[in-house]
Amino acid sequence: MSSPAQRPIRQTDGVVNPLRDPRDKRLPRVAPPCMLILFGVTGDLARKKLLPAIYDLANRGLLPPGFSLVGFARRDWENQDFRAVAFEAVKEHARTPFREDVWEQLCAGMHFVQGELDDPAAFDRLAETVKELDRTRGAGGNYAFYLSIPPKLFPVATEQLQRSGLAQRHNGGWRRVVIEKPFGHDLASAVELNNLLHKVFPEESIFRIDHYLGKETVQNILALRFANTLFEPVWNRSYVDHVQITMAEDIGIGGRAGYYDGIGAARDVIQNHLLQLMALTAMEEPTSFDAQAVRMEKAKVLSSVRLPDDLDLATARGQYAAGWQGGVKVQGYLEEEGIPSNSTTETYSAIKLGIDSRRWAGVPFYLRTGKRLCRRVTEVAVMFQRAPHLPFSETDTEELGQNALVIRVQPDEGVTVRFGSKVPGTSMEVRDVNMDFAYGESFTEASPEAYERLLLDVLIGDPPLFPRQEEVELSWTILDPIEAHWAKQGKPEQYPAGGYGPQSADELMARDGRQWRRL
């Protein structure tokens, strides 16, 4: 039997890549011959994130030489229009420097197919284009279909992929489908969506993007916990008082009224990003980092989540009102274009959850997210219990808080450890200080964008960073009763834009004798 250090890397479908020795970092993970078919290529996500990420991958030499990118949308574009828009998107949003030769090579494989998603003739044209590109550029029958389209169109797109034969595998090639959150809007619709996808694609070919999982800082939660001896011994109910997971945004809904209204902060952020962060923070050590082992541990956490008995006391919601942000007057949610003046959609939500396990019994996890808050910050803060006894005079420890380990997901990526330290001077005064690790200072290489990592993983067929069906359904099982409870409440509390969120969220913490970390 090979030792762990000798074991070759296991890739898609359990296939072992003999070319890649895990000890040899000189060999990057490179996508095999393949083609990406991007539905909704004229949309916001494609322009800001996906097209720049594809260019960045090409620039890093991680795409195969004959890589093809086929865009599909209704707009009346020719190939050259697609390339011109993609060029602008790359110039504006790519992470790596622009290189003419890389761009030219990428462009040679870029094609556009115009059509409606419910039009069989358009899919027949798409199938012809794909076939021809595969023949001329050698995709090896390997196709990834990225559905960057409104979720209500997932059913028609998958039906057409099946009808046109595009979803059928030939000659050992693979087919993968990528979908973007939201994965349904409750448990029933998520099950329905999964059933529909499974009619055409097996679970291992479905890649659900929760782009937070592509972030270096999020993956680092596992490195921090399981590559060190320092933290894990105190990562439990004997030492941890509570955990706060925050995603605060300073922006409003922008032009996304149609998407956001009726969805709200909890479905948009807590169901996916924050519950995934919680699962990574709370899970047990997986037997390995292959997809099955990691996802199994995350699913165990999600299935042990316990909702508090009184949801009135354990949840809070709010809606931003007009206010000032960075010296600029901004309007309230109800005045935003496209939002009905009687909307009850929340733009802020906070939830207290418990985890029924030996490790976490009695340790509350507080999750909060909101728009139009005073700062943009995403972090996981593990707050430790206070020392059981302080052998100092009371006045010397007045400014001493709780020890904390804060994983700063964005911006200012890094980790902070907060602890008490003696203030220089003649008395034994103790005050909180921070010890910081910042990515920018410790590593010379810049972190890839989340979409670079995730797109590459799709093309390689490396699934650990994609939530599977079970996790999605478990997350809705947690959220559904809370949403049902809120639906009976009517209007959420208003909070001024540019502030800290609704007062009810502060009261939620105060009832437990705690407070939120300052944003």
Ligand X SMILES: NC(=O)c1ccc[n+]([C@@H]2O[C@H](COP(=O)([O-])OP(=O)(O)OC[C@H]3O[C@@H](n4cnc5c(N)ncnc54)[C@H](OP(=O)(O)O)[C@@H]3O)[C@@H](O)[C@H]2O)c1
What residue ranges bind ligand X (CB under 6 A)? Answer: 40-46, 73-75, 116-117, 148-151, 153, 180-181
With tokens 């209500």, the residue in question is 152
| Token reading at 272 | 């996916």
Q: What is d(CA 230, CA 405) in angstroms, rounded to the nearest whole number? A: 12
Instruction: Supply the minimum distance, in Å, between the C-beta of residue 195 and ligand X.
Output: 19
Nearer to ligand X, 65 or 120 (CB): 120
Per DSSP, helices labelled H in 97-186 are 100-108, 120-137, 154-163
Nearer to ligand X, 149 or 305 (CB): 149
| Token reading at 422 | 């003696």
Nearer to ligand X, 182 or 308 (CB): 182
Instruction: Supply the minimum distance, in Å, between the C-beta of residue 455 and ligand X.
Output: 14
Name residues whose C-beta falls within 8 Å of residue 264's C-beta, 6 or more positions apart in sequence: 317, 345, 346, 347, 349
Nearer to ligand X, 49 or 242 (CB): 49
Instruction: Supply the minimum distance, in Å, between the C-beta of residue 206 and ligand X.
Output: 14
Nearer to ligand X, 46 or 266 (CB): 46
Question: In 55-66, which positions are buried (b, 16+ CB within 10 angstroms) versus exposed (e)?
Answer: bbbbbbebbbeb
Annotated catalytic residue, options 111, 185, 211, 273: 273
CA separation, residue 129 to residues 103, 126, 266 (Å): 21, 5, 41
Kind plus residue range of the DSSP H or E element containing 56: helix 51-59
Instruction: Supply the minimum distance, in Å, between the C-beta of residue 46 and ligand X.
Output: 6
Nearer to ligand X, 160 or 504 (CB): 160
Single-letter amino acid code for the residue at 440: G
Q: What is d(CA 33, CA 65) in angstroms, rounded to the nearest whole number? A: 8
CA separation, residue 167 to residues 35, 130, 257, 398 (Å): 13, 12, 33, 65
Report the residue number whose CB is nearest to ligand X.
43
Nearer to ligand X, 259 or 419 (CB): 259
Q: What is d(CA 205, CA 173) in angstroms, rounded to the nearest whole number? A: 12
- Name beta bridge partners: 111: 70
Burial of 292 (0-12, 13-18, 19+ CB in 10 A): middle
To the query of whether residue 273 is one of the catalytic residues in this protein, the response is yes
Instruction: Supply the minimum distance, in Å, between the C-beta of residue 332 and ligand X.
Output: 22
Nearer to ligand X, 44 or 78 (CB): 44
Q: What is d(CA 115, CA 439) in angstroms, rounded to the nearest whole number? A: 44
Q: What is the DSSP string of 138-154?
A: T-TT-EEEEE-S-GGGH
Pairing, β 414-422 against β 430-438: antiparallel
Name residues whose C-beta falls within 8 Å of residue 275's C-beta, 6 or more positions apart in sequence: 302, 367, 475, 478
Instruction: Supply the minimum distance, in Å, between the C-beta of residue 263 and ligand X.
Output: 9
Instruction: Supply the minimum distance, in Å, between the C-beta of residue 149 and ligand X.
Output: 4
Instruction: Supply the minimum distance, in Å, between the C-beta of residue 3 and ligand X.
Output: 41
| Token reading at 141 | 């029958």
Q: Give 403's Cβ-side CA count (13 Å radius).
A: 15
| Token reading at 213 | 């999982």
Instruction: Supply the minimum distance, in Å, between the C-beta of residue 82 and ligand X.
Output: 11
CA dihedral over 210, 212, 215, 217, signed as positive or negative? negative
Instruction: Supply the minimum distance, in Å, between the C-beta of residue 379 and ligand X.
Output: 20
Name residues whose C-beta falls within 8 Å of residue 169's C-beta, 6 or more positions apart in sequence: 141, 175
CA dihedral over 37, 42, 46, 51, signed as positive or negative? positive
Nearer to ligand X, 82 or 495 (CB): 82
Nearer to ligand X, 45 or 405 (CB): 45
Q: Which residues are catalytic?
A: 273
